[in-house]
Structure 1
Amino acid sequence: MLFDAMIPAFIVIFTIVIMECIATAVHKYIMHGWGWGWHKSHHEQHDHVFEKNDLFALAFSALAIVLFIIGMYNWVIWWIAIGVTAYGAIYFLMHDVLVHRRWGPVYLPRKGYLKRIYQAHRLHHVKNTRTGCVSFGFIYAKPIDKLLKNLRIERKGHRSTRRR
């Protein structure tokens, strides 16, 4: 009986992990690639409630809706849809509420996991350009010292190519 209850939990957790991998790849290769037209709005200062970049959230929401529809006929797909939705909620809280303070209370994490996520995404925005950014994940981030090292290497690389 307990094992039967653990299967849906495993599916949800596994889906969240897979969604982080997918979202990281989408952020790096699509949003900072051919999808820059939408994502650029996220790297620019503005005073709008919404930005073009929010269209990506709508696309992921559509995926969850389709999975729920299919999941009405397949319980595994239903729990995958729950995992995709849970990832979306975690993303919203971490990215839009915590880091960018677009909604909800202002909170500046001072230590631990939340501080690392916060700092990593702030480092991502050090360069408000399509290239040269670090840290593309939303709920996982490399240690800050490694991200700073990557950012320095990226900056040196751009300086050396400009001098030539």
Structure 2
Amino acid sequence: MRRSERKQIDPDLGIMAGQTLFALQKELFTTLGRQGHPHLRPRHGAVLAYLDEEGSRATDLSQQSGQHKQVIGTLVDELVELGYVRREPDPQDRRAKLIVPTPLGLDEMARSDAIVADIERRHAQALGEEVYAAFKQAFRQITDLQRTDLARKLSTDQPTR
């Protein structure tokens, strides 16, 4: 049996997670586009998915999303240009900046949350509330395990020369 056939019949965790992510992103960003946010792309989710209404530090967005701070900075630049966020001095640390959503950003955040809640409601209806809740709990545990294992592995691995 060819590898591609095997992966279709019995997909591994990476394939299933990727397929789920890409399908969710496609529905989310297509729907957002129809609702007045046509310039957003899935990459912007690394900022917008974690952004607090009162603003967030780029370092926090980086940690929460798993993206490098430089990537977050580039995405914030794009979102500033598109009118979704602005940078403001952090009142708790004048050296730091807060990434604060604009009214357009707040609208996107509310719509995005509603779209994802609808997607989750559909899945819970299809599987049953208890099965879906158990799935989410197990998936959260797997995500936490993977992130913890990766951090441990990266901290103990030495580069080869």
TM-score, length of structure 1 as denominator length: 0.27
Q: Of the two structures, which has the highest relative contact order with CA contacts closer than 8 Å and spacing of 6 or more? A: 1
Point out the structure with the larger strand share: 2
